[in-house]
Amino acid sequence: MLLWLTLALLWSPTCWAGALYGRGGGSYFSTTKDNENEITGIRVFIGIGGIIKSIQVRFGSSWSEKYGAPGGSPQEFLLQPGEYIIRADGSYKLFLRHLVIYTSYERKALFGENSGKSFSAFPDGSDKVLTGVFGQHKLLGISSIGFDWDYPIIQ
C-alpha cells in the first residue's frame, strides 16, 4: 500500500512543476521569488557554438544575479507592462543550446541555436505565468533548466 501511495505522489502533476530539462550536473541555481514584482525581462548569455552560458531574470526594474558560467554575449528581451511569459521551449545536448520564450502578447524571443533534444515547458493552469527559473550549470554553461509557474501578482 505504501508503495502505491509513493508512486502516486511521484507521478502526480505537482511533481512536474519542478521538471529539469537537460543533462544536468554541476552547481544548482534558482532565482529568488519576488512577491512584489513580476518578471519584466530575460537576459541570456550565448557562448561559442551557441551554448547558453548563463541567464538573468529581471523583476520589476532590477536584474537578478547572473546564473551560470562566465562569459558569453548578452541577448535581452524586455516585457511590456502587463505582459507575462506563458511558455518556454528549447533544446539541449551536453548544455542548454536553445531557448524560446513565449508571452501573453503573442510575442516570442529566441536565444541560441536549435539543436539536440527538444523540450516544451508550460504551466499546469491557463492563468499561471513564469515566476522563476532554476537549474544547474557547469564550467562551460547551463546543463539543465527548469521553470517556476504561478499566478500573477494582484496589484
Residue showing cell 516585457:
79
Domains and CATH numbers, the chain: 27-150 (2.100.10.30)
pLDDT above 70 for 2: no
State how far the Cα of 113 lies from the Cα of 153, in Å rounded to an integer: 33
pLDDT score recorded for residue 7: 39
Q: What is the pLDDT of residues 57-116, one digit of tens each?
A: 999 999 999 999 999 999 999 999 999 999 999 999 999 999 999 999 999 999 999 999
Q: What is the pLDDT of residues 17-59, one digit of tens each?
A: 479 999 999 999 999 888 899 999 999 999 998 999 999 999 9
pLDDT score recorded for residue 125: 81
What is the pTM (predicted TM-score) of this model? Answer: 0.86
